[in-house]
Structure 1
Amino acid sequence: MEFVILAFIGLFSGIVGALVGLGGGVILVPATLYIGVNLGLIEGITPQSVVGLSVVMMIFIGLSSTLYYMKTKTIDYQSSLIFFAGSVPGTLLGAYVNKGLNLSSFNLYFGILLIAISTLLLVRKYLKPVRWFVDHGRQRTFTDNRGETHVFGYPIWFALLLTFGIGFISGLFGIGGGSIIVPAMILLFLFPPHVAVGTSMFMVFLSAIVNSITHISLGNVPWLYTIAVVPAAYFGARIGASLNQKMKSETLVTALRITLLLLGVRSIISSLLG
């Protein structure tokens, strides 16, 4: 039964993660913790093991999504590599700090993070893009399938600093970082939305490899459970990436931010009661 539950969580995480560029961990981590710890339906689940499971899953979500976005030519590889370079040291530090968190502390900090991400998704469309980073940074161009040319960019120093912080969050909580980097790319660096998602998923793929190596070395990966999660997440990511090109994701984003808000509140309450 637990493998069926994990497969379903993995499938949903893959679809949502690839569709809006979140990476999937922001779905898998709270869902698995709740079902495993609170409901007792999955044995051996701890904050460390669920983060280990999440980062391994994100390798395959990132790979599946990247292969699709390569075909649609919506990945800015140079930006991905710059963002990846900034995230690596943060990822390593976050994974190291993770081993010192007990369940109560993890629930509290993760709940605050989920509420922050939900708020960011809520206000994203009301915020005006900031041209300063483009005007004072490295500029890039992208021509979409309608022939419209988009100019975007960023100061490299700021991109490295930002992705260091995102990498730390990714290593600490096992989320892909796309939930933060995608709005930042759109609002601060003026990335076209589809390019932001494709670039984010390539960065998620690269970062998840480093993140996984770290958590494997710490013994955090429940390998048996990856048998259920990884194939389902990979297939889900293919679905999500395909849907990204065919539909507006605003409806899903609205449902997602409400879900994240509720999960965040529940996680904080669980921490306080525990």
Structure 2
Amino acid sequence: MIQTTLLLAPLLGTLIGLALGMLGGGGSILTVPMLVYLLGQPPHTAIAASLVIVGLNALSGAWLHHRAGHVHLWQALLFGVYGMPAAYVGARLSAQISGAWLLVLFALLMLVIAGLMLRGGIQTTAARWSQDRWWRVLLGGLGVGFLTGFLGVGGGFLIVPALVLLLGMEMPDAVGSSLVVIALNCAAGLLGHLGDGNLPWLLMLLLVVTGLVGVRLGEQATRRLSASQLRRAFALVVVALAVTLLAINVPAVLAG
């Protein structure tokens, strides 16, 4: 088991970082299943560990994108702050619904988002902070925060489209800015999991270090791809994940 972990962890860490650096999403939705099903971690431990791994990789990616001029820092910070109380309310409400139903709803939401991203007519002129945009930051932060708390996953896959559709950011700017929000959300979420038991610190360190390589590769990829290519790649990944979630959870909903 230890040898398998040592062989798998570098590859998995790189994939996690690559998704974050290139798409601004996919961190948690990849990390938790990898830790549970491939690296043998208990679910609660995997969730807490993923917050550390994804949070540190997102912070690193945000710094790289900021150096390249693709982070709208003020909007990202406000977006994250507004989303925190909404995420709490959403998490409280989600306790009333089964996990299978939550994942089915999440998958349907992902398909809607992918459809919007694939539509060619979306205005993606880079956003500039002005007084008439504060309500869009507030609306986006509250909406994404609530959905993230309610559905339990989805950070970047909700944040990036919201930044594009509500604030008119170019896709590379939305990817970079979303990483700031993800880092904030991971830090806040980790506070609630600190008492969940011992974390696999050595494994986490290995995943973080190799994840930084993936983040760097993903950030470089955003420089080579156009905004429309990034948007299509993001949408296709979202569709693939949504179909997978539906295939796994629709039978459970029907059987329940």
1:120 aligns to 2:113 (yes or no): yes
Q: Measured at CA, do residues 200 and 194 of structure 1 come closer, stay the same or move farther in structure 2, by a change above 3 Å? A: same
* TM-score, normalisation: structure 1: 0.74
Identical-residue share of aligned pairs (%):
21
Quick one: distance in 2 between partners of 1:172 and 1:224? 31
Moved more, 182-191 or 171-180: 171-180
Quick one: distance in 2 between partners of 1:32 and 1:59? 15
Gaps of 5+ in 2: none
Matches within 5 A, 1:60-79: 60-79=56-75
Alignment correspondent of 1:147: none
Matches within 5 A, 1:88-127: 88-92=84-88, 105-126=98-119
Question: What are the superposed Cα offsets for residues 173-221 of structure 1, whole Å, 9 maximum, x if unpaired?
Answer: 6646221121122122211222111111122122221222222245595
Alignment correspondent of 2:140: 162
Quick one: distance in 1 between partners of 2:141 and 2:173? 17
Q: Measured at CA, do residues 14 and 125 of structure 1 come closer, stay the same or move farther in structure 2, by a change above 3 Å? A: same
Specify the SS of the correspondent of 1:164. helix
Q: Measured at CA, do residues 194 and 251 of structure 1 come closer, stay the same or move farther in structure 2, by a change above 3 Å? A: closer
Q: Measured at CA, do residues 190 and 161 of structure 1 come closer, stay the same or move farther in structure 2, by a change above 3 Å? A: closer
1:80 aligns to 2:83 (yes or no): no
Quick one: distance in 2 between partners of 1:5 and 1:95? 32
1:43 aligns to 2:40 (yes or no): yes
Quick one: distance in 1 between partners of 2:58 and 2:132? 23
Give the counterpart letter for 1:126 in structure 2.
R
Q: Measured at CA, do residues 74 and 22 of structure 1 come closer, stay the same or move farther in structure 2, by a change above 3 Å? A: same
More helix by percentage? 2
- The correspondence for 1:231, drawn from 209, 213, 218, is 209
- How far apart are 1:20 and its partner, in Å? 1.4
Give the counterpart letter for 1:179 in structure 2.
F
- The correspondence for 1:211, drawn from 166, 171, 189, is 189
The number of aligned residues is 249
* TM-score, normalisation: structure 2: 0.78
More strand by percentage? 1
Give the counterpart letter for 1:45 in structure 2.
P
8 Å CA contact retained: 1:52, 1:222: no
